[in-house]
Structure 1
Amino acid sequence: MSQGGGGVNLETSLGYLLKEVSSVLRAAMEEVLRPLGMSVTHYSCLELLAQRPGLSNSELARGAFVTRQSMNVLLQALEREGYVTRPAEPPIGKALPARLTPRGRRSLEQATAAVRSVEVRMLSGMTGAEQSEAFRILKTMIRSLRDGGDGAVRSEELPPAE
């Protein structure tokens, strides 16, 4: 709730609601990943490497929304535990491209099923058409924010607070 006239009304703030969804989704994912010995960041790293083998530490950090330092610590642990492999020397430049090992792939299969169950639960109250529309809307929001606000909506164009 907003105090005074100029603050954000948390009850009607779309940004606040998106942050709440993100927080609840992360907690639900952590809950199903914990028994597998994983965190969301660990899972994200493995998923990114499965889809884009050879990513560098920096690329993985960007994709998992963590710092390069955090990703480096995680990659070192994953390498020690046999989930990923990286060359001893960089093939080009400074980057050490990472790849999943067979153990990493097996672990990822279990984690993907667990994470997918959370997503299915999250979307269970929506029709297929609503899911498609939500996806489209969220992608539009991302594009708008990344484009620097060229199509920014003025406050008077926002729907009234309930």
Structure 2
Amino acid sequence: MSQEETVGELGQSVGYVLKQAQAALHSAMDVVLRPLELSVAQYACLELLGRSPGLSNSELARGAFVTRQSMNLVLRGLQDRGLLTRPEQAPHGRALPTQLTSTGQEKLHAASVAVRAVERQMFSPLSAEEQRRLCDDLAVCVAATPAAKSKSQ
């Protein structure tokens, strides 16, 4: 009879340390985004729209790792502040393609610079090659998860 393996020492668990890193990054991003009056989810939305204008609520929610309902609130708040526009009615289907305004682009630039500074600090103990390797290794791990595999099929 085989004995099932447990997580063991948390400090040696890749998943636990990865969650600590994610929490540390999120907290540090929150600190630098707060003076810009942005949450991490709002910043993620702006960043996604800056790279791919016209994304739908569902696409933005997936990209920002929030629910569609949460993204709807994020979008409404950003729209009320004049940072993005959405048409009143969908040009086709139900999706409302979203675009950054010039004010939204300026806010995105300031936020992106602030977040990049956080990333530089967090990853400063690693060389550029080690950072690339970490990113590549994590991408391989993500692709190996059952959720990622089911999305690619």
Q: Normalising to structure 2: TM-score of the pair?
A: 0.90
Q: 1:94-109 counterparts in 2 under 5 A?
A: 94-109=94-109
- The percent of aligned pairs where both chains have the same amino acid is 48
Larger relative helix fraction = 2
Shift of 1:7: 3.2
Shift of 1:68: 0.4
- Read off the aligned partner of 2:51 and give its amino acid letter: Q
Q: 1:12-161 counterparts in 2 under 5 A?
A: 12-145=12-145, 146-147=148-149
Structure-1 separation of matches of 2:34 and 2:124: 23
Shift of 1:133: 1.1
Could you say which residue in structure 2 is the equivalent of 1:8?
7
Structure-1 separation of matches of 2:133 and 2:17: 17
- Runs of 5+ consecutive residues of structure 2 not aligned to the other structure: none
Shift of 1:11: 2.0
Q: Normalising to structure 1: TM-score of the pair?
A: 0.86
Structure-1 separation of matches of 2:11 and 2:130: 22
- Read off the aligned partner of 2:130 and give its amino acid letter: E
- Read off the aligned partner of 1:66 and give its amino acid letter: V
- Read off the aligned partner of 1:147 and give its amino acid letter: K
Shift of 1:6: 4.9
- Runs of 5+ consecutive residues of structure 1 not aligned to the other structure: 149-162
Runs of 4+ in 1 over 6 A off after TM superposition: none
Structure-2 separation of matches of 1:78 and 1:136: 33
* Structure (1 or 2) with the larger CA radius of gyration: 1
Structure-2 separation of matches of 1:132 and 1:47: 21
Q: Deviations over 1:104-132 (max 9, x none)?
A: 00101110010000000011101111111
Q: Secondary structure at the match of 2:54?
A: coil
